[in-house]
Structure 1
Amino acid sequence: MLKYSNFDLKIEEYMLYCSSRNLSPKTLKSYETTLKLFSNYLVKEHTVDDVEDVTKNHIRHYVKFLQERGKYTCMEEKGNNKPSARTDFGKPISVNTINNYVRNIKVFFNWLADEDEIEKNPMLKIKLLKGSERIKAMLSEKEIKSILNSFNKTIFNEYRNYIITLVILDTGCRISECLEIKVDDVNLTNQVVVLRYTKNKKERPVFFSPKLKKELNQWLKYKDRYMTNDLLFPTNRGTLLAINLYEKALRKIGNELKIELYPHKLRANFAQYYLLNGGDILTLSRILGHSNLEVTKVYLQFDDESVNRQYQKFSPLNGLNLR
């Protein structure tokens, strides 16, 4: 008979709680994978299999372990699908990834404390790692124009992908939210679209510019000539467009232009341009649908070129007549 440890049982209870909150499958998978990897480490390295026995030192040792082990090495130990064949196998795990693990573990132990399952929360004094990955350069205006000009708007699929790209760049919505938009969710008069299939399951209105209004109006006329469909961005067969198909189209353009390109990069560029153009972070957090301000603060990081460009616009000395 298979025996489950106390830690495993608490993970199962926690996942049941998370499922009851209607969290996305992606979030659920992230929580469960993180916690099971941590549980395996505790048993193997410290013979700890009870949540009550976990201390802050165990967690600090685990962070050190993550910093020292390479990517996917734990998968090879379990005999998973030849992870060593991956090009990034064994490479260092990024600071951001480790911090995500720490956040997931912290949420778990906070839940245990709230449920009175543990007397002392070992995560209380655990802080995230300082420093982050190298700041990735924003897309320049020239690059954005090149990306948009790469779509062949005479072809249905490419014209649709062009409009999707505009929507993400202009509203900052997630690709998953964008592809679920229905025609009736778009109000051209008030320049607002209601996102109904969001990460936190709460509807969120986002506004768009006059330029996007014009583009959307043209797209709707074009789409209606070929099909009657309530989806704003259907496939040419009228079905829901899969995220990976749009990602593939975007990646192809990126390869041609020698630009690293994926949907979240468009969302990140919306956020950074919004801040550089004078937008405030509180409003941005609401636009992006973030659960708290800490998540939004990642977009406060700018590459040197962007900072210099913004500095030249607002330098005090440049505004003075010195002669």
Structure 2
Amino acid sequence: MKQIQMNKSKNLSVEDAYDLFIRKCRVKNLSQASIVSYENKIHPFVDYCEGGLISAVTIDTVDGFTNHLKTEHNVNDVSVVSYLRSVRAFLYYCMECNYMTTFKIHLPKAQKDIKETYSNEQLEKLLAKPDLNSCSFTEFKTWVFENYMLATGNRLSTALNVHIKDIDFDNGMIMLRKTKNRRQQLIPLSASLSEILREYLDIRGGNPDDFLFCNNYGEQASNRTWQTLVYRYNIKHGVNVTSIHSFRHTFAKNWILSGGDIVRLKTIMGHSNIAVTNEYLAMFGQDLQMDFEKFNPLDNLKNRNREQIRM
């Protein structure tokens, strides 16, 4: 049977196999964001194959594409891995369908850059509450939004899909209806954020079904709208870091430095694999040296012994 399937697919082009792969992704109900990501990263591989047959693709083809990305398009190592991860998913699908010979695709190692975070000094500038008697509502709602992002570690798309009714003040929880892994989840609502959101909603008003962070017309706001608002707000307050995603990195970093456990961090941040969460431990390793002696058990024991001797 396998041989028959191989014979039937021997004239299948790489482009046709790609179309079947994307169709399968839609059948599996993958998110539109995932499908777009696949399209952006697999299309260059399809173009590289120049109309060739999927059955002719080998590990040499993959290696040639890797070199093509680096030399012809000057793609950095981290991005190369991202491209190859998508290409690997496509080719493994083709192998499972017996469109091509099976072989292993190993991703090259890449040194990841330290994720950009907000410093304590920058956060003090950004989170200083504006004067409600003189500031615009836009400035106030941007301040609320930045508090929310720092307190939850949400992705932007997740935050913009939160409705007013999803904020459970009584039980101190937030319902996240749209996450990257497409699973709804509950995360804690901190006391500080609860107070800020109560005041925000008192001023803003709105119905339970309304989006918490809407546009000026009460509709769901776009990513670009909030990226622009945050950029303008941060620059105005003398902070040159303007990335919304950096609030997510800052949340993770401060969680780790405050002694928070990695398992709960994985849940709150919605990571599907704890290996992703562990990357933060590696990236912020130098920061973990801060006050190390203060928390190290050996140093604590020695310090206690010294104090007892003095007494």
When normalised by structure 1's length, the TM-score is 0.80
- Aligned-partner residue type, residue 142 of structure 1: E
> Structure 1 residues 317 and 200, CA, compared in 2 at 3 Å: closer, same or farther?
closer
RMSD between aligned residues: 2.5
User: 1:288-307 to 2 correspondence within 5 Å?
Assistant: 288-303=269-284, 306-307=287-288
> Structure 1 residues 150 and 107, CA, compared in 2 at 3 Å: closer, same or farther?
farther
Match of 1:139 in 2: 118
Cα distance in 1 for residues equivalent to 2:223 and 2:131: 20
- Aligned-partner residue type, residue 242 of structure 1: S
Match of 1:99 in 2: 81
Match of 1:11 among 9, 14, 18: 18
Match of 2:45 in 1: 38
Q: What do the CA deviations read for 1:110-139 (whole angstroms, capped 9, x no partner)? A: 22233333331342xx12323223x24532
* Larger displacement relative to structure 2 (255-264 or 163-172): 255-264
Cα distance in 1 for residues equivalent to 2:249 and 2:103: 34
Give the superposition deviation at 1:304: 6.8
Match of 2:174 in 1: 193
Cα distance in 2 for residues equivalent to 1:122 and 1:49: 20
Structure 2, unaligned runs of 5 or more: 1-10
Match of 1:62 in 2: 65
User: 1:71-110 to 2 correspondence within 5 Å?
Assistant: 92-110=74-92
Match of 2:107 among 127, 140, 146: 127
Q: Secondary structure at the match of 2:194?
A: helix
Cα distance in 1 for residues equivalent to 2:96 and 2:188: 38
Match of 1:20 in 2: 27
Q: Which has the larger radius of gyration?
A: 2
> Structure 1 residues 253 and 312, CA, compared in 2 at 3 Å: closer, same or farther?
farther
Match of 1:167 in 2: 148
Give the superposition deviation at 1:318: 4.8
- Counting matched residue pairs gives 290
Cα distance in 1 for residues equivalent to 2:115 and 2:48: 32
CA contact 2:175–2:187 (8 Å) conserved in 1: yes
User: 1:266-277 to 2 correspondence within 5 Å?
Assistant: 266-277=247-258
Give the superposition deviation at 1:301: 3.4
> Structure 1 residues 149 and 21, CA, compared in 2 at 3 Å: closer, same or farther?
farther
Give the superposition deviation at 1:243: 1.4
Match of 2:36 in 1: 29
Give the superposition deviation at 1:317: 6.2
Q: Secondary structure at the match of 1:63?
A: helix
Structure 1, unaligned runs of 5 or more: 71-91
CA contact 1:157–1:235 (8 Å) conserved in 2: no
CA contact 2:164–2:207 (8 Å) conserved in 1: no
> Structure 1 residues 69 and 315, CA, compared in 2 at 3 Å: closer, same or farther?
farther
- Aligned-partner residue type, residue 7 of structure 1: V
CA contact 2:176–2:186 (8 Å) conserved in 1: yes
Match of 1:156 in 2: 137
Q: What do the CA deviations read for 1:91-150 (whole angstroms, capped 9, x no partner)? A: x42322111111111111222233333331342xx12323223x2453222211212238
Cα distance in 1 for residues equivalent to 2:258 and 2:162: 27
Give the superposition deviation at 1:160: 1.8
> Structure 1 residues 310 and 67, CA, compared in 2 at 3 Å: closer, same or farther?
farther
- Aligned-partner residue type, residue 202 of structure 2: K
Q: Secondary structure at the match of 1:301?
A: helix
- Aligned-partner residue type, residue 115 of structure 1: C
1:223 aligned to 2:230? no
Q: Secondary structure at the match of 2:127?
A: helix
* Larger displacement relative to structure 2 (95-104 or 245-254): 245-254
Match of 1:265 in 2: 246
- Aligned-partner residue type, residue 144 of structure 1: L
When normalised by structure 2's length, the TM-score is 0.83
